[in-house]
Structure 1
């Protein structure tokens, strides 16, 4: 694993790759990681930053994590999902730092001999990642609202912060 925050940090083992990066995510590269002559299906999920949340304009998202723990959690999820759905391979990468509107924050690719296993495995990997991985996001809103820190899952409650990054009253 890398010690510098601007370098990729990843763990690879047989048919599994999990990573955190501050760089742009590459859909073709992650699909190539799971590509196999044994697989008749590859499913790719790309989560992107949208420009609004609950009718509030979002300027960008900023992600942070504790990489040693987050990578181990991602690895555990990947192992379980790969085995449960008889996947050929699985790869998950999450971006850290600022992710502008319309850019990807997470890519998950899975391959399997048949499409149903790939669809189900990919969806389970995403849901488990959002529920369990130690990654938090700051949603930066336009105007005077500042931002909100949230767990990295849909509907997670957050703590308001002002523009200087301090907790709001």
Structure 2
């Protein structure tokens, strides 16, 4: 049985670029490159470049984590990420944005998501970076499997909900 293309690491990285809005999206099984993300959005008109790296931590709710593993459905994921990026460019006047997400196994201390935004002023860049992250966690068709040291594992959407249905950081 052949692996479906959307799960086959040899069909990655997959990218989507909107040059007119300086939007750059990537899904990859390779390590994420923070400097490359910053270089991509750098602009002489930018007074602020904000970078966020979401990394695998070694515990979740006091359980030791061995590693994380991510999977996605690229067609839907790119549509969602592009909408998030376009909305952020319009709302915050961004000069550029990178959203990159790693798939497959992501060991402890390695990045699973990179978000870089460029804006004329720091306030817009800070707000946009955090908003883009939260929207990616809430909406992107990316699923996370936490693999614990004790051998247990749990699948999660990128964003978890509390008892009241509010999204909480995972």
TM over 0.5: yes
Determine whether 1:119 maps to 2:126.
yes
- The offset of 1:155, in angstroms, is 4.9
Q: How does 1:65-144 map to 2 (within 5 A)?
A: 65-144=72-151
- The offset of 1:135, in angstroms, is 0.2
- The offset of 1:5, in angstroms, is 2.8
- Give RMSD over aligned pairs: 1.6
- The offset of 1:72, in angstroms, is 1.1
Ranges in structure 2 where 5+ consecutive residues have no aligned partner:
164-170
Report the Cα distance in structure 2 between the residues aligned to 1:120 and 1:47, rounded to whole angstroms: 17
Which position in structure 2 is the counterpart of 1:22?
29
SS of corresponding position for 2:89 = helix
**Displaced runs of 4 or more, over 2 A:** 2-6, 154-157
Report the Cα distance in structure 1 between the residues aligned to 2:161 and 2:120, rounded to whole angstroms: 34
Which position in structure 1 is the counterpart of 2:158?
152
Ranges in structure 1 where 5+ consecutive residues have no aligned partner:
158-169
Q: Normalising by the residue count of structure 1, what TM-score does the alignment of the two structures yield?
A: 0.87
Q: Normalising by the residue count of structure 2, what TM-score does the alignment of the two structures yield?
A: 0.87
Answer yes or no: is the 8 Å Cα contact 1:150–1:156 preserved in 2.
Answer: no
